[in-house]
């Protein structure tokens, strides 16, 4: 029994070490199923650095619209996620109402793949309480328009190295009313993957301790460049 307990303890320690080695704090947020749509406290706007996604995905995404199409994507909308102060709702209607093709196509300027649009609607949009899918995606567009991308990230033709603090500071400078308590940088083992910004139901920036606690803990991150192409 003692040996089994010791082995279990070692596996827990190793698992925690792997999380920390990846630059992330241990996950604390818990998904809640069966929540009534519209019951949440604030939104998280997740903006992914598309070149990192494409580089990390490699051959799996080599022919995708996002990674092999005409547009040289930079920051793209991953999603707009209803959140609680602790935890978050998801999949509030199963199956989710089917999206019309025109609704999907209308979002491809800021969300780079039809599959992403459909997945975000099923997982997060159904929890928003909006009267329709079109209304939810209009809310997504409204949240994206709220955030100004810092000028230094609008074009990236070569690899650069940044710290999470530098990225947060750049967004804070570019967005009046945004503070470091309202934003969190996400990473993998070496790359900047995502910037998450907390926005209240009134569409104003808001503090979010749980999101901030789960931010990247690495000192330096790589930002791969966007591919060349038509914008």
- 131-171 pLDDT, tens digit each: 999 999 999 999 999 999 999 998 777 899 999 999 999 99
The interaxial angle of helices 114-123 and 133-146, nearest 10 deg, is 100
pLDDT for 15-69, tens place per residue? 333 333 334 444 446 888 878 999 999 999 999 999 999 888 875 555 577 887 6
Domain span holding position 80: 28-223
Chain centroid, CA 49 distance in Å: 9
Question: Which DSSP symbol is given to 134?
Answer: H
**75 with 153: CB under 8 angstroms?**
yes
Percent of residues, the chain, with pLDDT higher than 90: 68
Structure tokens at 77: 């909308």
Residue 229 is assigned to a structural domain of this protein: no
- CA–CA distance, 141 with 11 (Å, rounded to integer): 43
Q: Which of 222, 218, 227, 205 is nearest to 25 (CA)?
A: 218
- Domain CATH number, residue 129: 3.90.730.10
HSE on the CB side for 160, CA within 13 Å? 15
Q: Is residue 2 part of a domain?
A: no
Q: What is the mean pLDDT of residues 63-87?
A: 87
Tell me: the pLDDT tens digits for 171-206?
999 999 999 999 999 999 999 999 999 999 999 999
Looking at every residue in the chain, the average pLDDT score rounds to 85
Please check whether residue 185 lies inside any domain of the structure.
yes
**Could you identify the residue written with the tokens 């750049």?**
170
For residue 142, being part of any structural domain is answered with yes
Evaluate if residue 94 carries a pLDDT over 80: yes
Bridge partners, residue 88, by sequence: 31
On whether residue 10 sits in a domain, the answer given is no
pLDDT at residue 69 in the model: 67
Report the largest interatomic distance among the alpha carbons of the chain, rounded to a whole angstrom.
Answer: 63
Q: Does residue 230 sit within a domain?
A: no
* Residue 8 domain flag: no
Q: Which two tokens stand for residue 22?
A: 């990846």
Higher pLDDT, residue 216 or 5: 216
Count other C-beta atoms under 10 Å from residue 64's C-beta: 16
Residues in contact with 220: Cβ distance below 8 Å, sequence separation at least 6, in sequence order = 161, 162, 163
Q: Is residue 155 part of a domain?
A: yes
Residue 129 token pair? 């309480």
Looking at the structure of the chain, the number of domains it has is 1
Neighbours of 210 (CB within 10 A): 17
Give Cβ neighbours of residue 84 (< 8 Å, ≥ 6 apart).
32, 40, 41
Q: What is the pLDDT of residue 61?
A: 59
């Amino acid at each position: 029994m003692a040996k089994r307990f010791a082995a279990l303890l070692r596996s827990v320690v190793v698992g925690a070490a792997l999380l920390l080695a990846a630059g992330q704090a241990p996950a604390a947020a818990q998904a809640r199923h069966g929540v009534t749509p519209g019951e949440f406290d604030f939104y998280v706007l997740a903006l992914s650095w598309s070149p990192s996604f494409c580089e990390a995905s490699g051959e799996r995404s080599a022919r995708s619209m996002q990674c092999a199409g005409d547009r040289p994507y930079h920051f793209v909308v991953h999603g707009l996620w209803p959140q609680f102060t602790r935890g978050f709702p998801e999949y509030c209607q199963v199956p989710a109402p089917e999206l019309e093709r025109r609704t999907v196509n209308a979002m491809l300027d800021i969300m780079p793949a039809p599959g992403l649009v459909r997945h975000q609607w099923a997982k997060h949009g159904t929890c928003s309480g909006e009267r329709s899918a079109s209304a939810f995606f209009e809310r997504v567009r409204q949240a994206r328009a709220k955030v100004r991308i810092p000028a230094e990230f609008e074009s990236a033709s070569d690899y650069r190295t940044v710290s999470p603090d530098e990225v947060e500071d750049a967004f804070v400078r570019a967005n009046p009313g945004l503070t470091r308590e309202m934003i969190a940088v996400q990473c993998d083992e070496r790359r900047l993957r995502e910037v998450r910004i907390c926005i209240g139901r009134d569409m104003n920036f808001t503090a979010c301790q749980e999101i901030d606690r789960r931010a990247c803990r690495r000192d330096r991150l790589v930002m791969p460049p966007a591919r060349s192409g038509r914008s």
